[in-house]
Every structure is written in C-alpha cells, then in structure tokens.
C-alpha cells in the first residue's frame, strides 16, 4: 500500500481505516467532502490528510476533526478514445505536436497528482471541435514539464518545424508547458526567422480534466488562428482574460508570463497582442506590423550565456566567476533606463577585455533602455555594454545563446544582437 508523505498520527489514521494514497473517499467534518487521498510532502506534519476534490482543487483536512471517513468505489481515469476523426477533404490540414506540460496532463487517479499523460492524439480526441476546423495530424515529440526543457529541446522542436516548412500543413500547434513557454517561443523565433507558416505554442494553466481548464478553448482558438489568417511566424496562444470570452495570439519574442496561475497569465510586453480570437472570429491588431522575411533557419544555441539581474549588494565577483567559467555573453537586467552600480564596473571592464558580449535590458516591465540620459549609463556604454532597446530580458538571453552559436567573432555577435531579427525590438 502507498502512504507517500504520511507518518505518525496521519499514517496510523490511514491504516486504521484501510485507506492509502489514491483511495476514493467521502469525509465528514463540519461539512462533507468527496475526493482522492493525495500524497504529501516529505516534511509535512502528521495532523492532516490531503484530498483532491472532484473540482480539481486540493484541501487539507485535520484528522482530529474528521467524524467519519468511508471508502468509495474508485472508477479510475476515464478511458478516452484516441481514434482520429474521419478526415474532411474540404478542411485545411494542421499538425499538433505535444511536448508535455499541463495541457498534456491529467489527474493520476492512483496518486491524486497531475502528471503528463495525454498524447497529442488524446488531446485532439478530447476536443471534438477541432475536427470541425481542420484535419489534424498528431505526434508526441517528448513529454516533459516545461521547467525541464533545455536548449537541446528547442533544437529538436525547431528541427521538426523546419521539416514542415514546405509541407501542406496550414500551420502547426505545439502543446507546451507554460512555465518556460516564452523562452521556447523566443528560441523558435530566432532559429526559424522568416518561417513561412503560423506556429502556435499553446498551453493551459489548468489540466485538461479540470472543469476550469483553459486547454480546450486555447486549442480551438489556436486552430482557428492557424486556418483563418495569413499570419506567419511564432506565436503564443493563450487566454486573454480570466473568463472564456477571448484568446490572445502573442508575438513570440514580445510575450511574457506575468502571473503564476491566472488563465490570462501571458501578456504582450510593450503593446497589444498581434491577434485576438473572439467568438470564432480573428481580430488583427492594426499596429502589428510583420514584414515578411525570407526563411533563413539557423538552428543552434550556445548555453554559455548568463542573465544577471542587478540588485543593491550584488557581488561583482559573480561576473569574474562567469568569465573564468567560460561564459561568452552576459545579459544584464539593469535598473530603470539600463543601469548597474559602479561597484561592477571593474569586473565589467575585465569581462569586455576577455571578449564577452555584454548586453543591457531593463528590470522594468515596459519601456526602452536609454543609456545616454545619465552619467552611469554613459559610463557603461564606454565600458562596452550594448543597449538592447526594449527587448524582454528572457528573449535577450535566448537571442544571445542563438547569436553566440551562429556568429564567427565578437563583432558579428554584436551586430546580430543589435539587428531586429524577429520583432524582439518594438517601437
């Protein structure tokens, strides 16, 4: 039997009632609850049991206040058909690639936890509205929570998308976890600059089998966006509000996750989303200017780049350590218009002499880096720090990894960082 995380009185309580992690129970305290007993963290107290309710939320119940607990029949996970819908020759064709994350997760009825379990085919079959929009091919590239994705994964996604650039697909959905989606979106934007089709990175803040899940509407809206517009390039497609009224299509280098749990966690930094999907129609932002470029895939990344956030008291030896560790680029997340304290100047000068690229972004959510306004900014310019306009810091980091691996020397690296490759710099 499984008692993961339970000890002392809570363990005795479970054993006395012939229960374990994963048991379906009805509990009576000051109210009545039904749900699944969940595992607990290793250092939890021994006074409570954890219960996942049918609405998907978790609660802790103090065992001293439980007047009655009864085991209920466990129906387990619902078996969903993975059979693909019958193709409609009148509809366009899109590809749905799954990489994992909450959108490809469901409750594990043995443990009560949320785990990556849905395949791309299951995602397609669980949202029948998709078959009315397009004929969808599905495949699983890998199944990982997005915090586990590394630049090596970006390369695999980019290579798969590159193989589809000249195919009959109208567009491609990439199901992805939300925690690092902005990094992947930026990576694909640089590696696949000028990509001729629309690519929609789609996630969900709540797993597909929760009543409050945003997965279905995000997928449906992404499919509409791919089939009903002439857009091209990399986008993040997620809820635009906490309700189910509209979904935003954010440009891949201008987007950021700004909330831990809200369904509209993603926002375009420095402007409005490129497109809004509302009531089945597509509204284009009239200020969204996307000049088409020739497709020029350069799919490689060098991890020897560092994002360093300045704060009062930052030890300048961290810069020296980065240099001695072989890093080739440092992106500073400076204060205000692009400043760091003068305590870092000597270390910055040494890093520049070693040939590192040093770029400046701002900790402020919005606005341009302007390093000519104050003496401190001009000092940093004289030390060789390059202002990166209004690049989102995470996008600047990813761009530096990309530019490092695709440039032959320091001068070309700086030119690539200053170039507006994928709308990472906006007006």
What's the rounded Cα separation, in Å, for the pair 212 and 206?
A: 7
What's the rounded Cα separation, in Å, for the pair 381 and 181?
A: 32
Would you say 53 and 34 are in contact if contact means Cβ atoms under 8 Å apart? Answer: yes
- Report the candidate in 334, 404, 408, 409 with the shortest Cα–Cα distance to residue 376: 334
- Find how far residue 164's CA is from the centre of its chain: 22
Q: Which two tokens stand for residue 355?
A: 């040939």
**Strand 281-284 relative to strand 68-71: parallel, antiparallel, unpaired?**
unpaired
Q: φ, ψ for residue 238 (rounded to 5)?
A: -145, 165
User: Is-catalytic flag, 257?
Assistant: yes
Which residue is it, tokens 């305290």? 29
Which of 99, 119, 138, 178 is catalytic? The answer is 178
Q: Which two tokens stand for residue 109?
A: 């009825």
Which of 99, 102, 184, 229 is catalytic? The answer is 102
Q: φ, ψ for residue 304 (rounded to 5)?
A: -80, 50
User: Is-catalytic flag, 179?
Assistant: yes
- Report the candidate in 361, 369, 355, 338 with the shortest Cα–Cα distance to residue 404: 355
Which of 179, 209, 214, 389 is catalytic? The answer is 179
Contacts of 210 by beta carbon, 8 Å cutoff, 6+ apart: 55, 56
What's the rounded Cα separation, in Å, for the pair 284 and 282?
A: 6
Cα distances (Å, whole numbers) of residue 107 to 18, 52, 208, 350, 368: 23, 10, 9, 52, 43
Cα distances (Å, whole numbers) of residue 36 to 10, 22, 31, 97, 161: 15, 6, 16, 31, 40
Would you say 94 and 54 are in contact if contact means Cβ atoms under 8 Å apart? Answer: no
Which of 52, 170, 197, 257 is catalytic? The answer is 257
Max CA-CA distance within the chain? Answer: 73
Among all residues, which ones are annotated catalytic? 102, 178-179, 257
């Amino acid at each position: 039997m499984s008692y993961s995380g339970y000890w002392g009185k809570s363990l005795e309580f479970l054993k006395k009632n012939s229960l374990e992690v994963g048991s379906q129970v009805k509990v009576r305290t000051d109210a009545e609850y039904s749900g699944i007993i969940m595992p607990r963290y290793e250092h939890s107290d021994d006074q409570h049991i954890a219960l996942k309710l049918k609405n998907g939320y978790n609660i802790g119940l103090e065992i001293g206040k439980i007047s009655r607990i009864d085991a209920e029949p466990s129906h387990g996970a619902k078996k969903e058909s993975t059979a693909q819908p019958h193709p409609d020759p009148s509809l366009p064709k899109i590809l749905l690639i799954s990489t994992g994350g909450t959108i490809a997760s469901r409750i594990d009825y043995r443990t009560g936890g949320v785990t990556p379990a849905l395949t791309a085919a299951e995602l397609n079959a669980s949202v029948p509205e998709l078959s009315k929009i397009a004929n969808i091919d599905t495949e699983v590239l890998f199944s990982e929570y997005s915090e586990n994705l590394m630049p090596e994964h970006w390369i695999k996604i980019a290579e798969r998308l590159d193989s589809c650039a000249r195919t009959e697909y109208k567009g491609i959905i990439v199901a992805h976890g939300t925690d690092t989606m902005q990094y992947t979106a930026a990576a694909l934007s640089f590696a696949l600059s000028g990509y001729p089709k629309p690519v929609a990175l789609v996630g969900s803040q709540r797993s597909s089998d929760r009543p409050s899940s945003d997965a279905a509407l995000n997928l449906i809206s992404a499919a509409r966006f791919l089939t009903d517009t002439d857009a091209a390039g990399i986008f993040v497609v997620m809820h635009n509000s906490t309700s189910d009224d509209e979904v935003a299509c954010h440009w891949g280098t201008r987007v950021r996750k700004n909330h831990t749990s809200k369904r509209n966690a993603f926002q375009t930094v420095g402007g409005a989303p490129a497109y809004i999907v509302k009531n089945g129609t597509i509204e284009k932002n009239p200020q969204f200017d996307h000049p088409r470029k020739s497709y020029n895939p350069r799919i490689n990344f060098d991890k020897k780049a560092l994002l360093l956030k300045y704060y009062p008291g930052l030890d300048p030896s961290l810069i020296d350590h980065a240099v001695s560790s072989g890093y080739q680029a440092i992106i500073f997340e400076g204060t205000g218009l692009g400043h760091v304290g003068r305590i870092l100047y000597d270390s910055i000068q040494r890093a520049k002499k070693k040939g590192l690229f040093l770029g400046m972004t701002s900790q402020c959510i919005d606005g341009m880096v302007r390093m000519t306004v104050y003496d401190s900014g001009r000092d940093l310019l004289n030390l060789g720090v390059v202002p990166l306009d209004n690049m989102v810091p995470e996008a600047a980091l990813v761009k530096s990894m990309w530019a490092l691996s695709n440039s032959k020397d320091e001068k070309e690296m700086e030119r690539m960082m200053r170039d507006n490759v994928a709308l990472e710099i906006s007006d």
